[in-house]
Amino acid sequence: MSALEVLKKTLLLLLLAPISWGMAGPAGMDLQAAEVSARDETVFSPRLLRLIEQSGSEEPVPVIVTTAKTADAADEEEARGAGATVHRRFAHLDGYAAWIPAGSLWRLALGRNVRHISPDLPVRSSNDLNFVTVGADLAATWLGEDGSELDGSGVTVAVVDSGIADHPDLGGRLLAEAEIVLHEKGFVDYYGHGTHVAGIIAGDGASSSDPASFRRFNGIAPGAGLVSVRVLGSDGAGRVSGVMAGIDWG
C-alpha cells in the first residue's frame, strides 16, 4: 500500500470513529482529524500528494511547513511528536523545514499552528535576464530625461545565489555576506552563477574597458552596493528551505 493510501485511509478512519478517538486522544482531536480530512487538498500541496504517492510510508520526505504564526519551540516539539526532524526554523517567515516519514504527514497536519505543508524541493541556478529584456534601457531613457543618472547609487541589492566572488567589475561595492550553505566566510563563489547575476545587476564594466575589448559590458545598476547571500553549493544546487533561509536572513 502506498503512503498516500495509508494517509487517506487513516484520515477516513479518524473521521468515522470520532467517539473512540475522543476517548483515546486529547479533547477535540476528532474535530481536528475531520478538519484535515476535509481540507487535505489545501493543507497538502498537490506536488506533495504526488510525492507521497511515489514514496513508501517510512520513506523520509523533506517538507516546508507554513504556520499561522511564527514557529516556536512548541511547534518544533509538536513536530517531533509527529515523527518529524526539524532542521531549520525561520525567524521572520512563518514556518519551518523538516524531514518526516511520508506515512506520518497526517499527524503533522493536525498541528495547532500548521496551515500548509509543501515539499522542500531541490533548486538549481539558471541564466538570468539581461539589460534590455528587463526594460532597464527604457527605464534609463524615460526616467533619466532630467539628466540624472539611474545607476543604483544609494541602493543595496542582496543576491541570494551561489555567492559573489570579489571581481574587478564590482569594485569596492561588496558590502556584506551571509553563509546559509558551506559556512565559509568571505566573498567566494565556487559555482559562478551568483557572480554572474551580480554582474548583471551591478557590474561597472571595468574588465571590458581595455583596448582589447570590443565593447563595454556593464550591469543595470553599476553604482549599487551588493550583499552576497550564499544558498547554493559548489554544484549550483540547494533546497527551497535554504533559499527561504537566505531571504529570512535579510
pLDDT digits (tens, 9 = 90+) for 86-129: 999 999 999 999 999 999 999 999 999 999 999 999 998 765 45
Instruction: Flag whether pLDDT at 170 surpasses 70.
Output: yes
Give the CA distances from residue 65 to residues 14, 48, 87, 105, 158, in Å, rounded to whole numbers and listed in that order: 22, 11, 12, 11, 25
Nearest to 64 by CA among 117, 122, 123: 117
Give the mean pLDDT of 40-54. 84
The winner for highest mean pLDDT among 24-33, 35-44, 115-124, 140-149 is: 115-124
Higher pLDDT, 92 or 142: 92
Split at pLDDT 50, 70, 90, the class of 44 is very high
Cα separation of 238 and 180, whole Å?
A: 10
Split at pLDDT 50, 70, 90, the class of 192 is very high
Q: DSSP alpha helices (H): ranges in the chain?
A: 3-16, 18-24, 29-43, 46-53, 73-81, 105-109, 136-143, 193-202, 240-249
Long-range contacts of 27-30 (CB under 8 A, 24+ apart): 29/110
C-alpha cell at 74: 512548541
Higher pLDDT, 15 or 79: 79
The alpha carbon of 244 is separated from its chain's Cα centroid by a whole number of angstroms, namely 3
